[in-house]
Amino acid sequence: MDAASLLLGLLVGALLATAVTLGVVAVVRRRTPQPDGLEPVHESLDHLHRLLAGIERDRATAHGELREQVGTVGQTSALLRQETAALVTALRTPHVRGRWGEVQLRRLVEVAGLLEHADFVQQPSSVNDLGAGVRPDLVVTLADGKHVVVDAKVPFAGWIEAVQATDEAVRVTRVAEHARQLRAHVDALAARRYPTAFDPAAPFTVLFVPSDGFLTTALEAEPGLLEHAFGRDVVIATPSTLLALLRTVAYSWRTERLARDAGAVLEVGRLLHTRLGTLSGHLGKLGAALGSAVGRFNDTVGSYERSVLTTARRFDDLGVSATPVPTPAPVSAQVRELHPAPDPELRTG
């Protein structure tokens, strides 16, 4: 029982004792003649009885609800302990640890914005310069065609034991063991010679640690672990640092695609400009031909009026034809010359 429940119980007990005392006094006084001026006191005592009864009912209800909530919290805590134990047991298995690292790596690649089979490949197989087969977890392709190899199989059984340790000496021992396991994995990763299997490749291999706590705990026992890894051409990357690296790669790819698209746009613009020049030449020739045709038509109409219609009108004068021969009208429309429109910016400036 907590302090609040104890205090409430003491308060209710005091109120009950006061009520009992007042009740006894009231019974004693009823046995003797009392003046009518004590009637308000009786009413106050009755009201106090009802108030205390209501407080007791509320306390019982609250106590029951509190007991039910405490039971629910206990059940939830037990279930959480079971799930945590199951998770720890699963993480002790190397296959599960490796799969968890691969899932974390996949999520980072997706968040960075890289495209599968275009910017990266998962678990490709190859052969290094020593003839040994290798299979990293991820190979990222840079914009210049080079590759960056990423491995995510990191042992952290010592870290789990260090977290579960209740004794400080045991914890220090387990942390040192975790740092030793991580150092041994760095040496094993360097011996696989991943860059030689994916030429052209960056001259280093990225060791992905799925949690920042894994690296921080290892550095407590061995502060020179990062320098040792750099000396073996291995870069230890946590989720935060690897995400920065992958975002940089994604940005370089976007820049490369924009540059490539800009070149294609420039080439299409040049082709369009050439074809527009050819079309403008054809329009000029067509306009000249139409102007010449109009001039020839008008010359023909003039000749027709002078030479043919003069003779045909004599038939009209002699009454041979009922209707006169119509006179064709010359064409007065002119072909518009092709001129470039002025630049609006120059005109407004």
The CA distance from 304 to 225, in Å, is 107
The CA distance from 106 to 109, in Å, is 5
The CA distance from 187 to 171, in Å, is 25
- C-alpha separations of 229 from 166, 195, 211, 226, 243 in Å: 31, 15, 18, 5, 19
Element (H, E) at 126: strand 126-127
End-to-end C-alpha distance for the chain, whole angstroms: 87
The predicted pLDDT at position 102 comes to 73
The predicted pLDDT at position 187 comes to 92
Q: Which amino acid type is present at position 291?
A: G
**pLDDT averaged per 10 residues, the chain (length 349):** 58 64 60 57 75 82 82 72 56 58 78 73 84 86 83 75 77 86 90 88 87 84 90 89 85 79 82 86 82 82 78 72 72 70 55
State the SS3 of 129-173.
CCCCEECCCEEEECCCCCEEEEECCCCCHHHHHHHHCCCHHHHHH
**What SS3 state is found at 323?**
coil
Residue 247 has which token pair? Answer: 């975002």
Of the candidates 217, 218, 213, 210, the one whose C-alpha atom is nearest the C-alpha of residue 237 is 210
Buried residues in 244-257 as b, exposed as e (16+ CB within 10 A): ebbeebbeebeeee
Taking the CA atoms of the chain, what radius of gyration do you get in angstroms? 49
The predicted pLDDT at position 17 comes to 65
The reported pTM is: 0.50
DSSP 8-state assignment for residue 125: -
The predicted pLDDT at position 5 comes to 63
Residue 203: cis peptide before it, omega within 30 degrees of 0: no
The CA distance from 227 to 233, in Å, is 10
The predicted pLDDT at position 349 comes to 46
DSSP string, 208-274: E-S-HHHHHHHHHH-TTHHHHHHHTTEEEE-HHHHHHHHHHHHHHHHHHHHHHHHHHHHHHHHHHHH
The predicted pLDDT at position 242 comes to 86
